[in-house]
């Protein structure tokens, strides 16, 4: 083991559609490729069995027992009440107690959000946490880095202009670190480009964002711009972001279905599809990203990554790596710094005192 303080990730090893297998294998991949320590949280016996025969650096993986697990289809609110020893809750407590630096789970999104809200502290000044999704854009497909971020995609239903402004700051801080973009561009998702579009809330958000120093706010973008890659961070409220991201996932799925139909329908098409396999795999990326990238839940003092329920071992290992990178570069601290600058000392002092009372 390295003498440096090692980054420790708590992994909800029971989360996801495919049980512990992709979680354990994903942890092994991550442990073998990065100086990271992973706490596998879940059923000790099953995890031990699953780990048998796997090789990884000494001490890089540790099993932490949790006697319960919350299924993907269970009601988040009820199951959290009923199962205090569920793996996601044990993992969240490990992070809260300082025994791990970040939380990764492929469990039900609502459950992860509630578990984090139950045990983790929001960054001082952050009004609402937000789920961000990384997605590929088309316009810059040839470039190495063609990713963008959208938030909120469902931590909240509605929110106000101030929350939207904070989402912009959190998204920009995350993208700056993870993508290494120096001053990421940020836009509001709206029904037109003009500052007057979208009703009172969007107008206020526009004005707030315009006046944040050092934020590269480029104005409003429309639905048609989302995939074009004209902006690094797309800000919207959870209701809209959730519907947009699912619409895109649905479109990509429909496309795959169509190509399958085409494959069956005509011999000539089948030939064409074989030739086109590589081209079509580019399209596949749209949905893959939802599964592969992992969605950061931003606004807590510790980093939380929500991996897709269908996560493969590769997706889990990637989520662990992303969490580790966020810890190493102190993304949460960066967000806190920017929020502090936005909200001002007085407001935060008041919030700190209220929390202490």
Binding mask 124-143 for its own copies (x = CB under 8 A): --------------xx-xx-
Q: Which one among 67, 82, 258, 355 touches its own copies, defined by CB under 8 A?
A: 258
Residue 268 or residue 346: which is nearer to its own copies going by CB?
268
Write out the two tokens for 112.
């992860």
The answer to whether 205 and 188 have CB atoms below 8 angstroms apart is: yes
2: left (phi over 0), alpha (psi -120 to 50) or beta: beta
Residue 169 near residue 342, CB atoms below 8 Å: yes
Residue 351 is a binding residue for its own copies (CB under 8 A): no
Piece of the chain touching its own copies by CB under 8 A; list 1-9, 225-233, 328-336, 338-346? 225-233
* 62 bridge partner residues: 39
CA 38 – CA 61 distance, rounded (Å): 5
Spatial distance between the Cα atoms of 151 and 131, rounded to a whole number of angstroms: 6
353 lines the binding site for its own copies (CB under 8 A)? no
Q: Can you tell me the distance from the alpha carbon of 155 to that of 295, in angstroms, rounded to the nearest whole number? A: 11
User: Considering only 248-256, 312-320, 328-336, 344-352, which stretch makes contact with its own copies by CB under 8 A?
Assistant: 248-256
The pair of three-digit structure tokens given for residue 315, joined into one six-digit string = 């997706």
| CB-nearer residue toward its own copies: 1 or 157 | 157
- Dihedral sign computed on CA atoms, order 40, 45, 46, 51: positive
Please say which residue, 256 or 314, places its beta carbon nearer to its own copies. Answer: 256
- Our CB check for its own copies shows the closer of 118 and 253 to be 253
By CB under 8 A, residue 228 contacts its own copies: yes
- Among 33, 121, 183, 257, contact with its own copies (rule: CB under 8 A): 257
Residue 198: C-alpha distances to residues 124, 192, 243, 292, 298 (Å): 30, 7, 17, 33, 25
- Per DSSP, 183 falls in state S
Question: Does residue number 218 form part of the binding site for its own copies (CB under 8 A)?
Answer: no
Crossing angle, helix 20-33 and helix 313-328, to 10 degrees? 50
Count other Cβ atoms within 10 Å, centred on residue 52: 8
Hey, which residues between 168 and 207 contact its own copies (CB under 8 A)? 189-191, 198-199
CB-wise, 1 or 261, nearer to its own copies? 261
Q: Which of residues 275-334 bind its own copies (CB under 8 A)?
A: 275-276, 278-279, 282-283
The interface region with its own copies, picked from 12-20, 28-36, 234-242, 343-351 by CB under 8 A, is 234-242
Residues lying near its own copies in the complex (CB under 8 A) are found at 138-139, 141-142, 154, 157-158, 189-191, 198-199, 222-228, 238-240, 242-251, 253-255, 257-259, 261-262, 265-266, 268-269, 271-276, 278-279, 282-283
């Amino acid at each position: 083991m390295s003498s440096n303080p090692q980054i420790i990730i708590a992994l909800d090893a029971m989360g996801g559609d495919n049980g512990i297998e992709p979680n354990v294998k994903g942890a092994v991949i991550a442990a073998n490729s990065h100086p990271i320590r992973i706490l596998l949280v879940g059923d000790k016996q099953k995890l031990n069995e699953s780990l048998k025969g796997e090789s990884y650096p000494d001490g890089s993986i540790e099993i932490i027992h949790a006697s319960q697990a919350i299924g993907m289809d269970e009601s988040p609110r009820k199951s959290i009440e009923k199962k205090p020893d569920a793996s996601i809750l044990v993992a969240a407590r490990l992070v809260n107690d300082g025994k791990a630096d970040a939380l990764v789970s492929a469990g039900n999104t609502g459950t992860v959000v509630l578990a984090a809200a139950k045990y983790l502290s929001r960054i001082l000044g952050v009004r609402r946490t937000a789920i961000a999704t990384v997605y590929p854009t088309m316009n810059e497909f040839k470039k190495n880095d063609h990713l963008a971020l959208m938030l909120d995609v469902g931590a909240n239903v509605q929110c106000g202009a101030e929350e939207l402004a904070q989402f912009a700051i959190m998204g920009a801080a995350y993208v700056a670190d993870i993508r290494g973009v120096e001053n990421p561009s940020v836009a509001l998702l709206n029904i037109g480009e003009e500052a007057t579009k979208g009703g009172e809330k969007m107008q206020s958000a526009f004005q707030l964002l315009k006046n944040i120093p050092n934020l590269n706010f480029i104005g409003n973008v429309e639905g048609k711009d989302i995939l074009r890659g004209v902006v690094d961070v797309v800000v919207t409220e959870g209701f809209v972001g959730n519907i947009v991201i699912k619409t895109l996932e649905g479109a990509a799925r429909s496309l795959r279905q169509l190509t399958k139909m085409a494959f069956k329908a005509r011999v000539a098409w089948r030939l064409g599809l074989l030739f086109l396999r590589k081209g079509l795999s580019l399209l596949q990326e749209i949905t893959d990203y939802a599964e592969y990238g992992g969605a950061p839940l931003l606004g807590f003092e510790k980093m939380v990554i929500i991996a897709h329920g269908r996560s493969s071992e590769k997706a889990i290992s990637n989520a662990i790596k992303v969490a580790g990178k966020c810890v190493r570069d102190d993304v949460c601290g960066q967000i806190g710094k920017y929020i502090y600058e936005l909200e001002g000392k007085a407001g935060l002092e008041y919030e700190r005192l209220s929390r202490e009372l």
